[in-house]
Amino acid sequence: MEHLILITAMLAALYMAWNIGANDVANAMGTSVGSGAVTLRQAVLIAAVFEFSGAVIFGSHVTDTVRKGMLDPMAFSTAGPFGVQGPVLLALGMTAALLAAAIWLQLSTKLGLPVSTTHSIVGAVIGFGILAVGIHGIRWGQITEIVASWFVSPLMGGALAFAIFLGIRTFILRNPDPVAATVRVAPYLVMAVCTILALTFTQKVLHNLMHNPHPTFVGLAALAIGGTAGLVARGVIKVPEATIGADPYPYVEKVFGGLQVLTAAFVAFAHGANDVANAVGPLAAVVGIAKTAYTNVPNGVPLARWILAVGGIGIVVGLAMWGYKVIATVGRHITEITPSRGFSAEFATACTVLLASRLGLPVSTTHILVGAVVGVGIAHGLGALNLRTVARIAGSWIATLPAAAVISALLYLGLKAIFI
Amino acid sequence: MRTIFELFGKSPFEPLAKHGQMVDDVIQEVTPLIESFLAQDWSEAKEIADRISRMEHRADQLKAEIRDHLPRSLFLPVDRGDLLRLLKAQDAMADAVEDLAVLVTMRKTPVPDTLKPHVQALMDQVLQAAKTWFTISMLLPQLQEAAFTGPEVKKVLDFIDTLDEQEWRSDQLGTQLGRESVLLEDELGAISLQFIMRIGQKLSDVPNHAETAGDMVRLMLAKG
pLDDT at residue A157, as a whole number: 97
- Size of chain B in residues: 224
Residue B7 lies in a domain: no
Asked if A249 is an interface residue toward chain B (Cβ–Cβ < 8 A), one would say: yes
Low-confidence ranges of chain A (pLDDT < 50): none
Contact (CB, 8 A) for A388 and B73: yes
Task: Please state, for a pLDDT cut of 70, what percent of chain B lies above it.
Answer: 99
DSSP letters spanning B33-64: HHHHHHTT-HHHHHHHHHHHHHHHHHHHHHHH
Using only the alpha carbons of chain B, give its radius of gyration: 19
Q: How far is CA A282 from CA A101, A273, A277, A368, A404, in A?
A: 11, 16, 8, 24, 14
pLDDT at residue B1, as a whole number: 57
CB within 8 Å: B7 and A390: yes
Range of B23's domain?
12-69+77-223
Give the nearest partner residue to B150 out of A174, A366, A388, using CB atoms: A174
The amino acid sitting at B82 is D
We report the CATH number of the domain holding residue B149 as 1.20.58.220
Q: Locate the chain A residue with the closest alpha carbon to B73.
A: A387
The pLDDT tens digits of the residues spanning A369-386 come to: 999 999 999 999 999 999
Interface test with B, best of A177, A249, A252, A385 (most B CBs within 10 A): A385
Residue B153 lies in a domain: yes
pLDDT at residue A137, as a whole number: 86
Residue B217 lies in a domain: yes
Show which of residues 366-405 on chain A sit within 8 Å of chain B, judged by CB atoms: 366, 369-370, 373-374, 377-390, 393
Cα first-last separation, chain A: 10
Taking each helix axis as running N to C, give the angle between helix A86-111 and helix A387-419, from 0 to 180 degrees, rounded to the nearest 10.
140
pLDDT at residue A330, as a whole number: 85
Reference A251, options A188, A175, A197, A193; nearest CA is: A175
CB within 8 Å: B11 and A384: yes
For β-strands B74-75 and A385-386, DSSP reports them as antiparallel
Q: Residue A71 gets which letter from DSSP?
A: B
- Nearest C-alpha of chain A: how many angstroms from B2? 5
Q: Is the pLDDT of residue B68 over 60?
A: yes
Distance of CA A331 to the CA centre of its chain: 19
Residue B1 lies in a domain: no
ipTM for the whole complex:
0.88
Interface test with A, best of B5, B14, B149, B220 (most A CBs within 10 A): B5
Report chain B's mean pLDDT, rounded to a whole number.
95
Reference A129, options A69, A196, A215, A194; nearest CA is: A69
pLDDT at residue A1, as a whole number: 65
- Nearest C-alpha of chain B: how many angstroms from A170? 8
- Nearest C-alpha of chain B: how many angstroms from A182? 13
CB within 8 Å: B146 and A34: no
CB within 8 Å: B4 and A247: no
pLDDT at residue A209, as a whole number: 78
CA dihedral A203, A204, A210, A211 (to 10 degrees): 80
Rounded Cα distance, B87 and A253, in Å: 28
Q: Is the pLDDT of residue B224 over 70?
A: no
The pLDDT tens digits of the residues spanning A65-119 come to: 999 899 987 888 888 888 888 999 999 999 999 999 999 999 988 888 888 999 9
Question: Which whole number is the average pLDDT over B103-120?
Answer: 96
Give the nearest partner residue to B5 out of A34, A174, A177, using CB atoms: A34
- Which region holds residue A241: left if phi is over 0, alpha if psi is between -120 and 50, else beta? beta
pLDDT at residue A3, as a whole number: 85
Q: Is the pLDDT of residue B223 over 80?
A: no
Contact (CB, 8 A) for A351 and A363: no
Residue B3 lies in a domain: no
pTM of the predicted structure, to 2 decimals = 0.92
- Domain residue ranges in chain A: 2-149+274-335+387-419
The pLDDT tens digits of the residues spanning A188-198 come to: 999 999 999 99
Give the nearest partner residue to B4 out of A378, A382, A389, using CB atoms: A389
The pLDDT tens digits of the residues spanning B117-156 come to: 999 999 999 999 999 999 999 999 999 999 999 888 999 9
Show residues of chain A in contact with B12, CB under 8 Å: 383-384
Number of domains in chain B: 1
Contact (CB, 8 A) for A365 and A393: no
pLDDT at residue A329, as a whole number: 87
pLDDT at residue A120, as a whole number: 95
Asked if A345 is an interface residue toward chain B (Cβ–Cβ < 8 A), one would say: no
Residue B8 β-bridge partners: A385
Q: Locate the chain A residue with the closest alpha carbon to B78.
A: A380
Contact (CB, 8 A) for A278 and A38: no
